[in-house]
Structure 1
Amino acid sequence: MTDKLITKVTTLYERFDPALIGALDQIYDTDVVFEDPLHRVEGLVALRRYFSGMVHGLQECGFTFNHILEQRGHADEPDQAVLLWTMHYRHPKLKGGQRLSLEGSSHLQFRERVVYHRDYFDAGAMLYEHIPVLGYVIGKLKARLG
């Protein structure tokens, strides 16, 4: 069961586009909790709404999964997995629409479907550093501190 669900997750996220929104119920529980550095949403309906907003305006987005670590749950505990990934994306308002990459990871807890999903990534590296004026300021701060 675990391998089959993880395969569904990775296959759906290989192309993060509007088609993913309609397939979320194949991998997520109705009461899923999803967190990332920008938001926390509870429930499949809220997750659909959040992802719909994220894909809007994207010219391209997809994930390459570099490593997957799995752990079977004990007794009443759910199974877990950590997925290490690279996201490739393009948005017209970020760095002139250039293709960008971001490293991150996802922690999943699941039974028949995913009940908890938390993404870890640097939100500054994803967004703020690629906005013209803000990116310049962040670059100067990094240079000064680094």
Structure 2
Amino acid sequence: MDKNLVENFVKVYQSLSKDNLETLADIYDAKVMFQDPLHIISGLENLTQYFANMYENVQSCRFEIESSHFAEQQIFLYWTMHFQHPKLKKGQTILVEGHSRLKFVGNKVICHRDYFDVGAMLYEHVPILGGFVRSIKNRAAV
């Protein structure tokens, strides 16, 4: 596995915005399969549309990559997402830790799976529901 693949992937993600979504084609295969706790998306065209919709709804979104690990044709990235959404946490920045598993074919990602706590990202910041989610998490931690 070439370390340049990781550097290129991270470079694209850290500069990604609604104005340069065409750069996704530099890192993803046309038949990419993307999955996170909320979505399953098949194909580069659908993934590009997903990102376009996401950037329309958030005030900002960036990823801080903390570490990367290689195994055969896979890369594991550990990150913190910093994002602001006008309807969550009064538009303040929300931090969500997570990781991604990337499978490559050649020099492009064919499978991208994200793992993160949806409660920390979304549910804890919704009025009324957030209090219930935090209460449940606190009880489960005891």
Q: Return the alpha-carbon distance in structure 1 between the equivalents of residues 61 and 21 of structure 2.
A: 14
Check conservation: 1:15, 1:61, Cα contact below 8 A: no
How many pairs align?
Answer: 140
1:76 paired residue number? none
Measure how far apart 1:5 and its partner are.
2.1
Query: What does residue range 90-105 of structure 1 map to in structure 2 within 5 Å?
Result: 90-105=84-99
TM-score, normalisation: structure 1: 0.89
Deviations 1:73-128 (A, max 9, x none): xxxxxx11000001111111110011111100000011221111000001111011
Within 5 Å, give how 1:1-146 maps onto structure 2: 2-72=2-72, 79-110=73-104, 111-146=106-141
Identity %: 42
Distance 1:57 1:14, change over 3 A: same
Tell me, what secondary structure is at the counterpart of 1:8?
helix
CA distance in 2, matches of 1:95, 1:56: 18
Counterpart in the other structure of 1:75:
none
Give the RMSD, CA atoms, in angstroms. Answer: 1.5
Report the TM-score when normalising by structure 2.
Answer: 0.91
Q: Name the amino acid aligned to 1:12.
A: V
**In the aligned structure 2, how far is the partner of 1:24 from the partner of 1:114?**
10
- TM-superposed CA distance for 1:57, in Å, is 2.1
Deviations 1:1-57 (A, max 9, x none): 722221121112224421352211000000000000001111101111111111112
1:139, distance to aligned residue in structure 2 (A): 1.7
User: What secondary structure does 2:57 align onto?
Assistant: coil
- Unaligned 5+ segments in structure 2 are none
Secondary structure at the residue paired with 2:37?
coil
C-alpha contact (below 8 Å) 1:80/1:108 kept by paired residues? yes
